[in-house]
């Protein structure tokens, strides 16, 4: 053992740990970016579809807002297609406010992108 009692390795270990932590953080950020780009490419390649649906549920999720940070709200609506399949799509706050559970009409979407909803004012069933 040297005169420093083995503390000579401490700076090297600190640097190694710092590099590992930064590598993990940047790796996670890279994975999130790649997933987002893949989803965007998949949506861009999807056809625009318009189908008859019913609005079956609505939900919100709030992110942030701790301490001095601002909170943001995400709005989601679940639609049921004629075949019984359900699809949940993110919508704007304005669209969320215009939709009510039980509404029936025509949903336009492209992959997982909400493009619009036209309410059926005749009240006919799916």
Q: Is the pLDDT of residue 125 over 70?
A: no
pLDDT, tens digit (0-9, with 9 covering 90-100), for 71-124 = 899 999 999 998 999 999 999 999 999 999 999 999 999 999 999 999 998 755
Which DSSP symbol is given to 104?
Answer: E
- Cα diameter, the chain: 89
Angstrom distance (rounded) from CA 52 to CA 97? 20
Closest CA to 118 of 65, 35, 50, 72: 50
pLDDT confidence bin for 9, thresholds 50/70/90:
confident
Angstrom distance (rounded) from CA 90 to CA 75? 6
Asked if 81 and 51 touch (Cβ cutoff 8 Å), the reply is yes
pLDDT of residue 6: 62
Return mean pLDDT, the chain. Answer: 90
């Amino acid at each position: 053992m040297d005169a420093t009692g083995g503390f000579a390795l401490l700076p090297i270990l600190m640097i190694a740990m710092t590099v590992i932590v930064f590598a993990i953080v940047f790796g996670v950020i890279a994975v999130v970016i790649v997933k987002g780009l893949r989803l965007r490419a998949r949506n861009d390649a999807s056809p625009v579809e318009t189908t008859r649906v019913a609005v079956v549920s609505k939900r919100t999720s709030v992110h942030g807002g701790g301490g001095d940070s601002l909170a943001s709200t995400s709005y989601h609506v679940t639609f049921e297609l004629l075949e019984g399949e359900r699809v949940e799509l993110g919508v704007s706050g304005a669209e969320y406010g215009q939709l009510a559970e039980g509404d029936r009409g025509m949903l336009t979407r492209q992959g997982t992108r909400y493009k619009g909803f036209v309410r059926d004012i005749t009240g006919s069933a799916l």
